[in-house]
Amino acid sequence: MNLPFSRVGIVGVGLIGGSIGLALKKASCPVEIIGIGRNEERLRRAREIGIVDRVAGGFEGLQDCDLVILATPIGQIVEMLEIIADWIPPGTVLTDVGSTKRTICETAWRSLPASVEFIGGHPVAGREVAGMENSLAGLFEGAPYVFCPRPGSAPQNLRRLESFAEILGARTFVMTPEEHDRLVARVSHLPQLLSTALANFACTHEPDIFGSGLRDMVRLAGSPYSIWEGIFRTNRDNIVLAFDEFIRHLEQMRRMLEDGRLGEEFERAGQNQRKLRVSSTTGIPGRQGQ
């Protein structure tokens, strides 16, 4: 499959941006990758590692691209969308990798000219560590990649982005920003908070006797808050609803424990665990891209 873009600009060469660059290199796509950012040392390092072909220290680099990927934290994405309109030439496809979509899409569709196609994006992949040095060429292999196009957007640009995601090894899904944010609150944002809470709860007790099961469950607790702050701020309402629903489920489980009825819960959990393992190779709930 050929990449339907000739110059890809990655704004923010961190874990996700760096992994995109490495994945495109691994696929041997005939494309020039431009790293764009404010930290000259990090940009130089990205070029040395082979993530990007050349670097640009300012938004001037956007003028050479036919695909621009905003791969910074959510707050920075929103700020950039409000100021970069003059730097993006007509016909450019613009996307992002933010883990929430409503605020980002609303800002983009309000701030950018009609000549620039913005389609929100979210590769549902990551690690509990951040930074370009932790980038992986295979990070997106088998992972869902969600796109949130504006109603009435050009179908060919969505297809181009779907081809881009498939070259990374991902499976594409299309949904509205609202659908996306409700879903990821349950399957991504709440698990992060539960892992954080469990790590803090477990380590308040002595002695420090921890098994592999606990270590598996607190893996996400190593994620830095700087990555999550914008997620919680822009999807707080959906996360609170998921929290409330989960608390009700925990209270139900406590009653089942008291009544000696946890066997049925374990049986159902085993079935769901097997279903989740299958879904890791087939996709997430939603409308798959056409």
Q: Two tokens at 97?
A: 């990798």
7-175: CATH homologous superfamily?
Answer: NAD(P)-binding Rossmann-like Domain (3.40.50.720)
Q: Where in the chain do CATH 1.10.3660.10 domains reside? A: 181-288
Rounded CA gap, 59 and 244, in Å? 42
CATH number of 181-288: 1.10.3660.10
Q: Two tokens at 12?
A: 């923010």
Split at pLDDT 50, 70, 90, the class of 207 is low
Split at pLDDT 50, 70, 90, the class of 6 is very high
pLDDT of residue 208: 76
Q: Two tokens at 199?
A: 């790590």
Question: Phi first, then psi: what are they for 74, rounded to 5°?
Answer: -55, -45
pLDDT of residue 38: 87
pLDDT at 148 over 90: yes
Q: Where in the chain do CATH 3.40.50.720 domains reside? A: 7-175
CB-CB contact of 156 with 212 (8 Å): no
> What percent of the chain has pLDDT above 70?
95
